[in-house]
Structure 1
Amino acid sequence: MSEFIKWFKDLSIEDISEVGGKNASLGEMYNNLTKLGVNIPNGFAVTASAYKYFFTKNGLWKPLKELFKDFEAENIDELKRVGKIARELIMKAKIPDDLKKDILQGYKSLKKEYGEGVSLAVRSSATAEDSPTASFAGQNESYLNIKGEENLLQAYKMCLSSNFTDRSISYKYSHGFDPLKVYLSVVIMKMVRSDMASSGVMFSIDTENGFKDVIFINSAWGLGENIVQGTIEPDSFYVHKPTLKQGYRAVLKRKLGNKEKMMIFSKTLHKAILAEQFTKNIKTPIEKRLKYSLSDEEVLKLADWAVKIEEHYGKIYKQYMPMDMEWAKDGIDGELYIVQARPETVHSQEKASYFEIYRLLEKSNILLTGNAVGEKIGSGKVKILRSMAESEKFKKGDVLVAPTTSPDWEPVMKIASAIITETGGRTCHAAIVSRELGKPAIVGAKNSTKILKENQEVTVSCAEGEIGKVYDGILKFEIEKVDVSKLPKPKTKIMMNLGNPELAFSLAKLPVDGIGLARMEFIISNYIKAHPMAIKHPELLSDTERALLDELSFPFDGDMEEFFIKTLSEGVATIASSVYPKKCIVRMSDFKSNEYANLLGGRHFEPIEENPMLGFRGAARYTHPNYAEGFELECKAMKRAIEVMGFDNIYLMIPFCRRIEEAKRVKEALAKNGLGDVSVYMMCEIPNNVILVDEFLKVFDGISIGTNDLTQLTLGVDRDSEIVSFDYDERDEGVKRMVKMAVEGAKRNNKYSGLCGQAPSDYPEFAAFLVKIGIESISLNPDSVLKTIKDISKLEE
């Protein structure tokens, strides 16, 4: 067996020192996971011994050692000069004949296995990369679709020289590696022709906050380089690991990316020796941009593989080991393949119980938005760089603004206070490097180089959900550092109010006993955007409204009901997943008629009411001829979330239920729509709910007190009216007495009692009152959870 060539079948993770992280991982998977159904293309490693042999035979060690003597990696001009000389030395050298012979013999074997027309992926594999503490992501080059012996040999040499790119040298120094002792192996494997299909990246953890229960997949048409470089916004998908392992087959969450470009191999002839290497970006056809680049079945197959890969590497490292994977779909054979896997290096290093919460203390004009990377806040002066040639003007603490960034920019990125790019998704290299450096970044912030001005002071906030915001000026913010393991555990259950699914994963670390109020309205207004009855009766819409609805439902093959049901069920399930298997109480829709009218097509179905707060809302709608079909859609979405997606921790809640007869009608409607076996609570917010609590609890399984409406109706104060807002106070003795009566009624009937209004979030003394009367749970706004846990624990001592 040659010391220069090792086939995947002869490799394992133990061989990193000889074949580098990429090759060792491919060998590990090829030997252990192909038998579990994971597709890995075959190939071989050209070893680190071959790298050292190449350098020794060409006498390169001495001049390189001299070159790096007294080298200062922080000096960007020096970095560029030294890198250029090192690469030229390697490219002028010759591949020794015996090494050349072994590489070409391996090529012949791959042609025998896959056919004479097989093309190759030639990829760098550094001996220090893909460890649990350093990823080396994108530091060295890869060459794709290589055909022909001369092209293959040239690609091999170019990989070796890429060990001395500016970014690779800088990365080694910043991570404490000697650039002359990080040897390079090279992967030579079957090329997966994703230029004719799709490709992307996948993580077995959420990349922004370390939420462990999901698999995150990015996907785009064509070669994956556009995702890596951040030149497009890819499609994104999440799959929930615990329910997937139980056999449920459903996407948890999805977002359609713009996918403006797709990278394919150029057909243009070129005199250069790597004629087949050249790629080009073309405009993605509009029908592909408006469709997802993976089917649900393909997403779930990749998710299955991600679980198997994560579990296998967990056994190797004898600890939980989230993984960062690359996948590609072959447009010729139609199969999906895993082409790389490595340990995730940011969240895997964090202490599970420890996290930081960044909060803005003031606001200003929002200048632009994009995809948030990380959950931090940074501020400083804007410096717009269109290439690294302008890097000398960049100073430590500046905010980097660029059309896009590649790993070449790492020396500048590590001294930035924040990073903003015009293009890119959450798994592009700019995002990956920003996370490793612990910098807040906003990618895909369109026209940022035009909107922002040189030296303008800005604050970059990635602490407000998935949408990152750039504010005008330097704003004050605070950082709360919390060790959850040291927090007390109160007897009264502390739950959380949540409507925005974008915040769910970032809030999953909060030590709550579940979600006490998941608001359906946010999902309908922000993701579906259309009135439920417009979905059922598109024939009543104007041409403009119908065109907008057609565009929204296009990714779902134009099926409007499927669009509504999947979007709503996935939004609710995303919230439920953040606390799974703990309870998640989902309130059925509680829009008022004026709010419904603002949805797409809503004006055709809504009455004009003088006081919508007391009008056609809540339970009254669900069995009314004007909305019963809309309620049916809501029920189908909840049935899908519970039965198809596997979130049996979902409990339903009925808002604004005025009378016993109405309660019974709603329960019958739920049963008719397949939800007869689901636990259903009543939102206790009308005085009649309190007065007849025993009767209502014969219909419902529990109550959750809504102090906002209960206060309004007890005191006769319209909470939408500013002129009498001074009289709106949940701490009024009459309101408190109502709350106490409701809790006592639930206890008397051995039913659940909780409270999900605003009061305990705003007033610590109200939370104390709830503990005193023995309520089962208190549901709070997320920013009040930690303080209230501490306060209540003291009360219970």
Structure 2
Amino acid sequence: MESVRHVVPFMELGRRDVGRVGGKNASLGEPTNRLADAGVRVPPGFATTAEAYGELLDTDGLRDLVRRQIDRLHEGARLDEVGAAVRSLFLARPLPAPLRDAALAAYEELAAHTGRDAPEVAVRSSATAEDLPEASFAGQQETYLNVRGPDALLEACARCYASLFTDRAIDYRERMGFDHLAVALSVGVQIMVRSDLAGAGVVFTLDPESGFPDVTVVSAAWGLGETVVSGRVDPDEYTVFKPSAKDPALDPVIDVRTGSKRLKTVYAEAGLTRTVDEGPSHGPAPPGAARRRRPARHRTNHRGPPRQGRVLRRPAVPRHRPHRRLPPARPVVVRTSDSKTNEYAKLLGGRPFEPDEANPMIGWRGASRYYSEGYREGFALECRALRRVRDTRGLTDVVVMFPFCRTLDEADRVLAVMAEEGLVRGENGLCVYVMAEIPADIVLAEEFAERFDGFFIGSNDLTQLTKALRRSDEVERALLSMGRSAPPGCGPVGPCGRSRRHCTVPETERKSGARETRTRHRPRGTAGPPEPRTGRTR
């Protein structure tokens, strides 16, 4: 009979060892043994095995005692009573001698590695049924931080084993149909990094809400990462676009959200942690601020959204939220500003810069603003923002679309302004669309197609300017059917905005899978009356 191996160093573990040491410890082993040569430093550690847990259950009849308590639950006993009884069974007896000796020997090796007699370690629970495709046990067991010395280590290990039977864990396994004694628990022991002196956080290797795989999401706050994982702090959040990260010339950080980060967890004496309220200034805690002492442990059932991630694994997506995987990346169409003069005038500070127009709908709006002296600088800011997104962030699937273009001459003038700002149609894959919302856009579709890569039909304005009617389902369907007869070379033709729900143009004919977004800001300081619009359509 093969002897039981009670502990395994992280260096010997990988993602295929989930059944042996649980999901968390297998994930810690993966970067430890695969990324060291790349300069990724993972603090050393070890994991107890599922076989060692089975040996614990077979000591002094513990397995049968646990089963009797579960039977009591099925007979109607209260969950909290059963949970407390099972946990007390684990804590009332010492760990089996082989497991105890192996854990202490591995801890001594960590001490020798660090050069300290009693190094601080994190003691984490890792269930063998953790992060399965059909169920997630993440956050149901305990983690103990800043554990120092052999005695404290053994106590923390025992409490981790007992935490496999928290009330929450028992209830979840009951609802999911898991056999309580078929799920094993591994304990991970890892040297701690003094992040309480700086900051820590969680890395998701994809978007945890949507499953979108091309971004990495980092949540971070001051101190130990406990407050971030438990959801007790409002952290900073950084979203990194992976394709752009491959090019050193690009800035891959596409979104930064600054949190308050008021709470900070740090080391305390005797192996405890303390939580400090940093206050709104984010600086040192004020003198005399209350500090709450508590055991150095955390779970993820606190208030606020838990942030649990795995390096080199999919993150633990909360099962109470819909996990909708996004389709593959597709072009994003950004429509430049198209507010009317009366709408701009209602904005803060807008009145002195906007003319009074009897009919703003056919006034100084859309493309006519972009090259006029009264708004040329404002449109330049829009162009610079678009160029930054495409050229600095590497999001070259962004398509520019400008609205309400009356004439071919107007199209040429706007394209010239864009080129002056570094947005040249065709360079670096740049496509430029136009909103087809004026009868001239439809009548001169072939000529406009020589200047643009695609059309989005704006049925609201087009309906009013063509038939002097409000938009209706019948009129929209008639107008959108124009897409079927679009001349060759027009590029993608599709509906815009709310009219999409009425579109009768088949997807194969519309050819556009693009998403649309719009800019609605008015850059401060841009002003001036419109230039006379007397140019004729060529």
Q: What TM-score do you get using the length of structure 1 for normalisation?
A: 0.54
Contact kept, 8 Å, 2:437 with 2:459, in 1: the verdict is: yes
Q: Distance in 1 between matches of 2:258 and 2:276?
A: 20
Change (3 A) 1:244 1:154: same
Aligned to 2:281: 286
Q: Distance in 1 between matches of 2:283 and 2:447?
A: 55
Change (3 A) 1:89 1:598: farther
From 2, 6, 9, the counterpart of 2:8: 6
Aligned to 1:160: 161
Q: Distance in 2 between matches of 1:5 and 1:145?
A: 20
Q: Distance in 1 between matches of 2:190 and 2:512?
A: 57
Deviations 1:330-364 (A, max 9, x none): xxxxxxxxxxxxxxxxxxxxxxxxxxxxxxxxxxx
Give 1:143 shift: 0.4
What SS is found at the alignment partner of 1:223? Answer: coil
What SS is found at the alignment partner of 2:74? Answer: coil
1:87 and 2:58 matched: no
From 427, 439, 458, the counterpart of 1:706: 458
Q: Distance in 1 between matches of 2:450 and 2:265?
A: 62
Q: Distance in 2 between matches of 1:285 and 1:82?
A: 43
Change (3 A) 1:598 1:225: farther
What SS is found at the alignment partner of 1:278? Answer: strand
1:747 and 2:495 matched: no
Give 1:137 shift: 0.5
Aligned to 1:633: 381
Change (3 A) 1:762 1:180: closer
Aligned to 2:22: 20
Contact kept, 8 Å, 1:620 with 1:657, in 2: the verdict is: yes
Give 1:191 shift: 0.9
Aligned to 1:424: 304
Give 1:673 shift: 0.7
1:296-307 superposed matches below 5 A: none
From 266, 271, 276, the counterpart of 2:271: 276
Q: Distance in 1 between matches of 2:276 and 2:487?
A: 66
Aligned to 2:179: 178
Contact kept, 8 Å, 1:58 with 1:94, in 2: the verdict is: no
Q: Distance in 2 between matches of 1:753 and 1:183?
A: 56
Q: Distance in 2 between matches of 1:214 and 1:425?
A: 20
Change (3 A) 1:506 1:631: farther
Q: Distance in 1 between matches of 2:390 and 2:240?
A: 15
Give 1:124 shift: 1.3
Deviations 1:131-174 (A, max 9, x none): 44433211211101112232222212221221222122222333
Contact kept, 8 Å, 2:23 with 2:127, in 1: the verdict is: yes
Counterpart residue identity of residue 409, structure 2: E
Counterpart residue identity of residue 495, structure 2: C
1:467-482 superposed matches below 5 A: none
What residue ranges of structure 2 are gaps of 5+ in the alignment? 285-297, 310-314, 517-538
Give 1:427 shift: 3.8
Aligned to 2:524: none
1:508-519 superposed matches below 5 A: 508-509=326-327
What residue ranges of structure 1 are gaps of 5+ in the alignment? 270-274, 290-404, 410-422, 441-504, 510-578, 718-724, 783-797
Counterpart residue identity of residue 230, structure 1: G
Q: Distance in 2 between matches of 1:255 and 1:164?
A: 37
Deviations 1:521-575 (A, max 9, x none): xxxxxxxxxxxxxxxxxxxxxxxxxxxxxxxxxxxxxxxxxxxxxxxxxxxxxxx
Q: Distance in 2 between matches of 1:433 and 1:22?
A: 11
Contact kept, 8 Å, 1:72 with 1:79, in 2: the verdict is: no
Aligned to 1:72: 74
Change (3 A) 1:238 1:620: same
Give 1:281 shift: 4.3
From 425, 434, 451, the counterpart of 1:682: 434
Q: Distance in 1 between matches of 2:143 and 2:306?
A: 22
Counterpart residue identity of residue 121, structure 1: A
Change (3 A) 1:681 1:10: closer
664-673 or 206-215: bigger deviation: 206-215
Counterpart residue identity of residue 747, structure 1: P
Counterpart residue identity of residue 35, structure 1: D
1:231 and 2:249 matched: no
Deviations 1:64-114 (A, max 9, x none): 3433334329x5x62211221222232232245554443333223223323
Contact kept, 8 Å, 1:200 with 1:218, in 2: the verdict is: yes
Contact kept, 8 Å, 2:434 with 2:454, in 1: the verdict is: yes
Structure (1/2) with the larger helix percentage: 1
Give 1:597 shift: 4.2
Give 1:406 shift: 7.0
Counterpart residue identity of residue 752, structure 1: G
Q: Distance in 2 between matches of 1:703 and 1:214?
A: 30
Counterpart residue identity of residue 112, structure 2: K
Contact kept, 8 Å, 1:57 with 1:96, in 2: the verdict is: yes
Q: Distance in 1 between matches of 2:479 and 2:141?
A: 69
Change (3 A) 1:224 1:681: same
Contact kept, 8 Å, 2:449 with 2:491, in 1: the verdict is: no
Deviations 1:49-70 (A, max 9, x none): 4434445555534433433334
Aligned to 2:53: 51
Deviations 1:23-57 (A, max 9, x none): 23322332223334444221011333443444555
Counterpart residue identity of residue 703, structure 1: F
Change (3 A) 1:599 1:202: farther
Counterpart residue identity of residue 419, structure 2: A
Count, aligned residues = 490
From 475, 478, 495, the counterpart of 1:756: 495
Deviations 1:255-285 (A, max 9, x none): 33443433333x4x5xxxxx32333242354
Counterpart residue identity of residue 264, structure 1: V
Change (3 A) 1:407 1:201: closer
Aligned to 1:119: 120
Q: Distance in 1 between matches of 2:478 and 2:133?
A: 54
1:103 and 2:98 matched: no
Aligned to 2:533: none
Q: Distance in 1 between matches of 2:299 and 2:106?
A: 32
Q: Distance in 2 between matches of 1:102 and 1:781?
A: 58
Q: Distance in 2 between matches of 1:762 and 1:54?
A: 62
Give 1:732 shift: 5.4
1:716-735 superposed matches below 5 A: 716=468, 725=470, 728-729=471-472, 731=474
Change (3 A) 1:606 1:65: same
Give 1:686 shift: 2.2
Change (3 A) 1:683 1:110: same
Aligned to 1:395: none
Contact kept, 8 Å, 1:64 with 1:86, in 2: the verdict is: yes
Higher relative CO (Cα under 8 Å, sequence separation at least 6) belongs to 2
Contact kept, 8 Å, 1:227 with 1:424, in 2: the verdict is: no
Aligned to 2:530: none
What SS is found at the alignment partner of 1:68? Answer: helix
Deviations 1:114-135 (A, max 9, x none): 3427421011122332444433
Aligned to 1:194: 195
What SS is found at the alignment partner of 1:182? Answer: coil
Q: Distance in 1 between matches of 2:318 and 2:81?
A: 28
What SS is found at the alignment partner of 1:671? Answer: helix
- Aligned CA-pair RMSD: 3.9
Q: What TM-score do you get using the length of structure 2 for normalisation?
A: 0.77
What SS is found at the alignment partner of 2:384? Answer: helix
Counterpart residue identity of residue 280, structure 1: T
Contact kept, 8 Å, 1:13 with 1:24, in 2: the verdict is: yes
Contact kept, 8 Å, 1:233 with 1:425, in 2: the verdict is: no
Contact kept, 8 Å, 1:590 with 1:655, in 2: the verdict is: yes
Give 1:709 shift: 1.4
Counterpart residue identity of residue 92, structure 1: A
What SS is found at the alignment partner of 2:180? Answer: coil
1:566-715 superposed matches below 5 A: 580=329, 582-599=330-347, 601-603=349-351, 605-676=353-424, 677=427, 678-715=430-467
Q: Distance in 2 between matches of 1:104 and 1:508?
A: 47
Counterpart residue identity of residue 49, structure 2: T
